[in-house]
Amino acid sequence: MMLGSIKYNKALPSWKSGVFLVITAVFLSWISAPTQAQSLEIRRVVQNGDIVSIYYDLTDPRKGNRYDVHIFSSRDQFVAELKNVEGAVGRAIECGLENRIDFNPAKEYGEEFGTKNEEKLSFDLRGELYVSFMTLLSSTLGS
């Protein structure tokens, strides 16, 4: 079915064709309406001495949602989560713009990292909705 096309049937009474047009218009506007969803997007990466800062936006149209945020690097093809990080990373991170994670590659990979030749790193952020145990418990008990 092509969007925006209708089949016109002259034999239908005018009220039926009008209802069909209204239903088609509502359906087409519903499927083409933009939906809002949560997003996690790296905005920029800045190196200041030994520290690499990753700035990201975490947005959700539902107020109060928190997320578990994890960061990975290209050094191991994004397999292991980075451990030597501080800032807006880990459990129950609030949504916001310009969240910051500070990463120390020398602590993560050893003091020799980046001293002999330039190392290139890419980062991947992964997030999942945080639901506290108390929230699960209260919804299970019916409170």
**% the chain with pLDDT above 70:** 67
Q: What is the CATH number of the domain that holds 101?
A: 2.60.40
What pLDDT does 34 receive?
A: 52
Domain hosting residue 51, numbered range: 39-141
Which tens digits make up the pLDDT trace of 9-22?
A: 334 444 444 444 44
Same domain, 29 and 44: no
What is the 3 state secondary structure string of 35-104? CCCCEEEEEEEEEECCEEEEEEEEECCCCCCEEEEEEEEHHHCCCCECCCEEECCEEEEECEEEEEEEEC
**What is the distance between the alpha carbons of residues 2 and 60, in angstroms, rounded to a whole number?**
32
- pTM (whole model) above 0.85: no
Same domain, 7 and 58: no
Same domain, 16 and 63: no
Q: How many CB atoms lie within 10 A of CB 10?
A: 5
What pLDDT does 19 receive?
A: 41
On whether the CB atoms of residues 101 and 82 are closer than 8 A, the answer is no
Does 92 score more than 70 pLDDT?
yes
Same domain, 103 and 123: yes
Q: What average pLDDT does the segment 82-95 reach? A: 95
Which tens digits make up the pLDDT trace of 37-50?
A: 788 899 999 998 88
Same domain, 64 and 92: yes
Same domain, 23 and 91: no
What pLDDT does 4 receive?
A: 32
Does 68 score more than 80 pLDDT?
yes
Same domain, 99 and 135: yes
On whether the CB atoms of residues 70 and 81 are closer than 8 A, the answer is yes
**What is the distance between the alpha carbons of residues 80 and 123, in angstroms, rounded to a whole number?**
12
Which tens digits make up the pLDDT trace of 113-138?
A: 888 777 888 999 999 999 876 655 55
Instruction: Identify residue 75 by its one-letter amino acid code.
Output: R
